[in-house]
A and B are shown apart, each in its own frame.
Chain A
């Protein structure tokens, strides 16, 4: 076992633990903080995979902006725990059963089909940096980039119109 693999596995444990914390925590604020931890571990994976620009965007956009929005709405609506009256038990059992089936399929793919594949690692510092991303974005993906700006405008106007009190 190389040091890289040990690092990967520890980070995977943190990541999966944070995701499970999101799944099981009763308090919405704790769930949001667990999700922030998960986003940050994923950002570290991006760094390992030669995507420094995306890692920083992940921290600022996801762990920063989006989660602040979530926390803001949680605070706005009140942090009291949601009452779990009228438990829909069959639904929960069905969901957990389906999740276990999916995990079993993943495990079988991982252990039976082989856990090899191409080795991922450092492929040069230029790859995935802001310069490379910018060149690719503005040369090949200019139209989608502009459409994204319209999408963000629509999202902004939608949020304002929906929450406007009149």
Chain B
């Protein structure tokens, strides 16, 4: 038996790594992966709390997060491919056409 705080701490550490990944990397695909890592960390917390309260709603929520993440990845990667076609780069620092 493992205390819930261990799971929540692990989830928070994974979330932090994902957030730092989004902040310091330039490659749009790797930034995307950081977002996936953060979603996954949140899912872990959901499942841990579902186990604590013995209510299935937490797990159902994770199921919905997975489907939303799948849709998000499909559209996001399509956007990245389109950006690569027009700009020939997926470096987020170079996507500054809208800079005021």
Q: Which residues of chain A have a CB within 8 Å of any CB of chain B?
A: 2, 4-5, 8, 12, 15-16, 19-20, 22-23, 28, 31-32, 35, 38-39, 42, 45-46, 48-51, 53-54, 57-58, 61-62, 65-66, 69-70, 73-74, 76-77, 82-84, 86, 88, 91-92, 94-96, 98-99, 102-103, 106, 109-110, 114-121, 123, 127-128, 132-133, 136-137, 140-141, 144, 148, 151-152, 154-156, 158-160, 162-163
Q: Is the interface of B mostly helix, strand, loop or mixed?
A: helix
Residues of B in contact (CB 8 Å), total 67
The answer to whether B52 and A120 have CB atoms under 8 Å apart is yes
Mask for B50-82, Cβ within 8 A of A = 1, else 0?
111010110110111011111111110111111
Mask for B1-45, Cβ within 8 A of A = 1, else 0?
111111111101110111111011111011011101100100110
> Chain A nearest CB: distance from B51 CB in Å?
4
- Cα–Cα distance between A51 and B49 once the two chains are bound (Å): 12
- Cα–Cα distance between A83 and B34 once the two chains are bound (Å): 19
The answer to whether A28 and B40 have CB atoms under 8 Å apart is no
Which residues from chain B contact A106 at a C-beta distance below 8 Å?
A: 9, 12-13, 16
The answer to whether A136 and B13 have CB atoms under 8 Å apart is no
> Chain B nearest CB: distance from A2 CB in Å?
8
| 23 intermolecular pairs with C-beta atoms under 8 Å apart | A19-B14, A19-B17, A23-B34, A31-B30, A32-B33, A65-B70, A69-B73, A95-B24, A98-B20, A102-B16, A118-B52, A120-B4, A121-B2, A123-B51, A123-B54, A128-B50, A128-B56, A133-B63, A136-B60, A152-B70, A155-B72, A155-B75, A160-B78
The answer to whether A77 and B5 have CB atoms under 8 Å apart is no
- Cα–Cα distance between A162 and B77 once the two chains are bound (Å): 10
How many contacts A-B (CB < 8 Å)? 226
The answer to whether A38 and B37 have CB atoms under 8 Å apart is yes
- The interface centre, meaning the residue of B7, B18, B23, B59 with most chain A CB atoms within 10 A of its CB, is B59
The 10 lowest CB-CB distance pairs between A and B, nearest first, are A155-B71, A95-B23, A162-B78, A119-B1, A99-B20, A117-B4, A159-B78, A121-B1, A19-B17, A159-B74
Q: Which residues of chain B have a CB within 8 Å of any CB of chain A?
A: 1-10, 12-14, 16-21, 23-27, 29-30, 32-34, 36-37, 40, 43-44, 47-48, 50-52, 54, 56-57, 59-60, 62-64, 66-75, 77-82, 84, 90-91, 93
The answer to whether A49 and B51 have CB atoms under 8 Å apart is yes
In the complex formed, the residue of A with least CB distance to B69 is A66
A115-B6, A117-B4, A141-B60 known, 4 other contacts, Cβ within 8 Å: A16-B14, A39-B40, A106-B13, A158-B75
